[in-house]
């Protein structure tokens, strides 16, 4: 496996941050070396300097996308962070359904969907809620968008096909029996419900200008990989995209404090709730 020297680490570190926002701290050379080893071999690069030149001059964008794909961390699970999902089920979903019934349409964005567990967790709760209300058609009024910068993660999310290891990470047995069918060694999520989600490849460094406003944005366990500067930029873009009173939910280890003053921060059990002013 090729090793990075210090100038090469600086080059690759800046390239990765410029392309997808991932900020690597000192002594993270091994991450680049291990995650990009296969791409170096495929391109025939004899050094990281040569590889950086290829990436920088690749006008097709293919190598850039492969680098981003290799460097992203697709760690996720079903109903991750109990208190956050209790808030979503007990507070957010009833409010969304009231809006949907009153105004005809509400919009939700899972902004770093990874392999799909987050958006499907939400969809299961929405489906149960509209049926419990006796208004199953109300689900038609909820627009669900899910995006990720990783091509491979997004393809996995769109396939809605999970192995036993993924199924055992946070998925309650009653949800498995209700919403999944077994296909050999894999489990398939309800295909009719899956069709309600619009999947989109999207880089959070890109402009949000072509999106319409959202009532709820889930942007969980992604800002932890970004620099403070990019966190400020990202949260400003998200604030501009949320409707007044709209909610942003981050991961349990993430916070808006020191990065944005455009939200009211409150607590629900141990979950932090960020509401657009």
Q: Rounded mean pLDDT of 213-224?
A: 97
Number of domains forming the structure of the chain: 2
Sign of CA dihedral 258, 229, 231, 245: positive
Instruction: Give the residue from 49, 71, 93 where a domain finishes.
Output: 71
Instruction: Give the residue from 71, 106, 127 where a domain finishes.
Output: 71
Q: Rounded mean pLDDT of 146-152?
A: 96
57 band by pLDDT with thresholds 50, 70 and 90:
very high
Residues 190 and 122 in one domain: yes
Residues 146 and 203 in one domain: yes
> Is residue 2 predicted with pLDDT exceeding 90?
no
Residue 74's pLDDT is what?
Answer: 87
Residue 15's pLDDT is what?
Answer: 97
Quick one: what percent of the chain has pLDDT higher than 90?
96
What's the mean per-residue pLDDT of the chain? 96
Residue 157's pLDDT is what?
Answer: 98
**Which domain does 48 fall in, by range?**
6-71
- The residues near 268 (Cβ < 8 Å, ≥ 6 apart) are 83, 86, 87, 91
Quick one: what percent of the chain has pLDDT higher than 70?
100
- The residues near 157 (Cβ < 8 Å, ≥ 6 apart) are 113, 114, 115, 116, 119, 146, 148, 199
Residues 120 and 66 in one domain: no
Residue 234's pLDDT is what?
Answer: 97
Strands (E), the chain: 106-110, 142-148, 161-163, 180-183, 186-189, 197-201, 214-218, 242-249, 263-268, 271-276
Helices and strands counted in the chain (H then E): 13, 10
Residue 153's pLDDT is what?
Answer: 96
Residues 56 and 14 in one domain: yes
1 band by pLDDT with thresholds 50, 70 and 90:
confident
215 vs 225: CA distance, rounded Å: 25
What is the CATH classification number for the domain harbouring 91?
Answer: 3.40.50.150
What is the CATH classification number for the domain harbouring 44?
Answer: 1.10.155
200 band by pLDDT with thresholds 50, 70 and 90:
very high
């Amino acid at each position: 496996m090729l090793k990075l020297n210090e100038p090469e680490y600086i080059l690759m570190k800046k390239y990765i941050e410029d392309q997808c926002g991932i900020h690597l701290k000192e002594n993270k050379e091994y991450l680049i070396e291990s995650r990009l080893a296969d791409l170096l071999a495929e391109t025939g690069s004899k050094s990281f300097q040569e590889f950086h030149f290829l990436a920088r001059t690749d006008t097709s964008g293919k190598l850039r996308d492969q680098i981003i794909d290799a460097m992203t961390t697709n760690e996720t699970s079903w109903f991750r962070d109990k208190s956050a999902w209790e808030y979503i089920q007990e507070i957010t979903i009833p409010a969304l359904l009231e809006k949907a019934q009153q105004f005809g349409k509400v919009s939700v964005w899972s902004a770093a969907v990874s392999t799909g567990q987050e958006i499907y967790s939400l969809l299961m709760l929405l489906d149960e809620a509209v049926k419990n209300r006796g208004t199953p058609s109300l689900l038609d009024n909820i627009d669900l968008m899910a995006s990720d910068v990783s091509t491979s993660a997004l393809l996995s999310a769109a396939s809605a096909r999970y192995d036993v290891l993924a199924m055992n990470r946070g998925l309650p047995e009653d949800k498995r029996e209700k919403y999944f069918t077994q296909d050999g060694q894999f489990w398939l999520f309800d295909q009719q419900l899956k069709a309600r989600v619009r999947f989109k490849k999207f880089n959070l460094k890109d402009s949000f200008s072509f999106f319409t406003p959202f009532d709820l944005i889930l942007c969980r366990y992604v800002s932890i990989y970004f620099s403070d500067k990019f966190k400020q930029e990202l949260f400003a873009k998200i604030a501009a995209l949320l409707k007044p009173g709209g909610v942003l939910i981050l991961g349990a280890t993430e916070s808006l404090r020191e990065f944005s003053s455009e939200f009211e921060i409150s607590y629900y059990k141990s979950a932090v709730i960020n509401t657009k002013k």
